[in-house]
A and B are shown apart, each in its own frame.
Chain A
Amino acid sequence: MTTTDSILPPPVGAAPPGRPRRRRSLAHTKLPVLVIFLPPALLLFTVLVILPMGEAAWYSFFHWNGYGAPSKWVDLRNYQLIFRNAAFKTALINNFLIIFVSIVIQLPLALWLATMVTKRIKGALFFRLIFFLPYVLADVAAGMIWRFVYDGDFGLVAGIWHFFGAEPPFLLADPDTAMPAILAVVVWKYFGFHMMLFIAGLQAIDRSILEAADVDGATGWQKFRLVTLPMLGSTVRLSVFFAVIGSLQLFDLIMPLTGGGPSNSTQTMVTFLYNFGVTRMQVGFGSAVGVILFVICVTLAFGYKRIFMKND
């Protein structure tokens, strides 16, 4: 997370590298630490993470309604059904749409606001709190609030439309507008989180470098592009990582807003899993969706880390 390591000289008075001693002390403490702390963690991890994952993978080969033990082996049919399912395709597209909007709209917005509220202007702290507020709110509560805001009969949007004397739209009830309406809520809900990350990153930038740029006659935009942004690199990469993983898991905001409808136009992979696996008692099918989601998440996460975050 520290962005200054490669650029700044080591702090004055820092201890000289003490590799040999450190290694010896490591070897000395490693074994007891391993013996005491590893087994419980390993046990928990196995029972709570590895086993359920293995189970889900196993169930995904069965036609099973979730009661009793699975018995009807169907090979890869669940997977075939998923890839033939139009709603799953919509879910997949929506997930990537959410990632795209997060990166292209949400993060720049968060960065812009972060640079504004780190300036020493009056009320900066106040705005910081205000912008962070949506993130503090529970996802389900936020979804319910926005469902009301978007309501075409009594909502805020309806009020605005009525004010201009027009027939209000039902944004969440129209397959064409439901997803954009949800994307707006997603941006609103999570930009505060990324803004906070950026504020932390911005505060770690050494002021003397920006002052040096001032002395050299750099404009505000040049300072941002050539100094701030590069030095914020690792924070941005981390933010993108969070945005991607978070987007893939989006669920509790959508359920109160549309529940995946109308006509499955706002399904994500997780709402698809819930609507088609859990509520329809198709646990085998749902498990297969879970496995696919897992593979996508792991591939993206590790691929991204390997390519973009290897120096962080």
Chain B
Amino acid sequence: MSGLRKWLRHSAAVAVSIAALAATSATASADTTIKWLHLENQEPVLELWNQIVDEYEQANPGVTIDMQFLENQAFKAKLPTLLQSSEVPSMFYTWGGGVLKAQGETGVLRDITPALDADGGKWRNQLNASSIDGMTIDGKVWAAPTQTGVVSFFYNKELFEKAGVDGAQIKTWDDFISAVKTLKDAGITPIAGGGGDKWPLHFYWSYLAMREAGQDGFAAAKAGEGNGFAGEPFVKAGELAAELGALEPFQNGYLGATWNDALAAYGDGRAAMILSFESTGRTQASNSTDGKGLAEDNIGIFPFPVIEGAPGVVTDNLGGLTGWAVTKDAPPETEGFLEYFTSPDVAKRWSAVAKTIPVTKGVAETITDPLLKVSAEALSKETWHQNYLDQDLGPNVGAVVNDMSVAIMSGQISPEDAARQIQDTFELENM
């Protein structure tokens, strides 16, 4: 019996100390904490972000910014539950599009329009208008845009030269296919692909569909006109993707490779090309085996080729518009921090380190990095900006697009069946 009493006394003591602990932590959090959930794993970028956080904290006493990291795929998987839990972050990374729309519709996000328009629209005037439009759904701005970009082909000049291919001369899809063949004949792996993550291959299908359908055809498919995504241009896009896949242009084992594996294959010089983001100059280096990757002057860029006779033009870009969504119960200082984060001075520093193209007015023009400049110029001249389809079409249809892109290119499904499946899912989602 005495044992029991002792046990009870001990548990009471423990309970009291836990309560005391909870009380102290409650007083400590009387100050504001902004929980910043991000996916950034590059050391130099994080270093800069920590600096920016320090600066903001010093200028705003009582505000703490708590950075939380989740790996890309884990982030996508965890976010829906996280947003409805008590651990909800104040701001988190977003690719915009259908995923942001789904989040906005369910009331977990905060409309940041008032913050943008405060002080006579001080923050709004700081950003490119089109980027704000990209984050606007039904008249409400659900996220602060920070960065834009374009997907294009990056190539290894040395390997191209060895095979006798001129990257600057690749204008049409036929040019591209013959370049792939020439590289293969020279014993060089033409393309680095990340089929394990799936989305890196959806760039091919998306771009081909954009070229085949053109902006109007795409808009019609989204509006459910005609056969939608099961229509002729989309089947044709699949056929071209399948033809490319049949040439076996990717590195061995690409179906199990992650995006980082693909960047490593390109950065190590084990593959001659990669269809990738504007920041590839930096990411190929950090993912390469020696940590240095290809020298900058060994990297060339060309836009995704056009298809002869199809309506899509070379200035139609596939690329992201990414930013930070603010959650419903986030402290009001969150918007203040985002305004600081997108201010011209910070945006310039960030662009220099992360090799990104900020949407802050006047920053893209000042970019000096030669590779990034090519992407920035492509963006400044673009005729149509299509957001990544796996984000734009929402989480479910987007995932099917990714699945089908891999399945088509690895020859597991016919282009007709793939287009049909995308359309079926699209109809189910939008019924």
Name A residues whose Cβ lies closer than 8 Å to a Cβ of B: 63, 65-68, 81, 151-153, 167, 170, 172-175, 178, 258-259, 261-264, 274, 278-283
Query: Which of B126-134, B161-169, B177-185, B252-260 is near enough to bind chain A?
Result: B252-260
Jot down 14 A-B pairs with beta carbons below 8 A, ordered by A: A65-B80, A67-B80, A67-B107, A152-B252, A152-B253, A153-B253, A175-B410, A261-B195, A262-B406, A263-B255, A274-B77, A278-B80, A279-B399, A282-B396
- A293 → chain B, closest Cβ, in Å? 19
CB distance from A99 to the nearest CB of B (A): 25
Number of A-B residue pairs at CB separation under 8 A? 84
| B103 closest partner in A (C-beta) | A67
Chain B nearest CB, measured from A311 CB (Å): 40
- A150: nearest residue on chain B (CB-CB)? B256
- Once the chains bind, are A173 and B254 in contact (CB under 8 Å)? yes
Q: In the complex the two chains form, what is the Cα distance from A259 to B252 in whole Å?
A: 19
Main secondary structure of the interface of A (DSSP, over half): loop
User: Contact at B195–A173, with CB atoms within 8 Å?
Assistant: yes
Count, chain B residues at interface, CB 8 A = 31
B102, B256, B428: which contacts A261 (Cβ < 8 A)?
B256
Chain B residues contacting A67 (CB-CB under 8 Å) are: 80, 83-84, 102-103, 105-108
How distant is the Cα of A66 from the Cα of B195 in the complex, in angstroms?
A: 28
Nearest CB on B from A210, distance (A) = 45
B252 partner residues in chain A, CB cutoff 8 A: 152, 167, 170, 173
Which chain A residue lies CB-closest to B79? A281
Chain A nearest Cβ from B259, distance in angstroms: 13
How far is B253's CA from A173's CA once the two chains are assembled, in angstroms? Answer: 5
CA distance A261 to B196 in the complex (A): 7
Decide yes or no whether B395 CB sits under 8 A from chain A: yes
A174 with B102, Cβ < 8 A, contacts A262-B406, A280-B399 known: no
Q: Give, as a whole number of angstroms, the nearest-CB distance from A88 to chain B.
A: 13
Q: Are B255 and A279 in contact (CB under 8 A)?
A: no
State the CA gap A121–B245 with chains docked (Å): 57
Contact of B255 among A81, A173, A283 (CB under 8 A): A173
B407 beta carbon closer than 8 Å to chain A: yes
Chain B positions within 8 Å of A258 at CB level: 196, 256
In-complex Cβ contact of A172 among B76, B83, B256, B395 (8 A): B256
Residue of B nearest to A152 (CB): B253
CB of A27 to closest CB in B, whole Å: 26
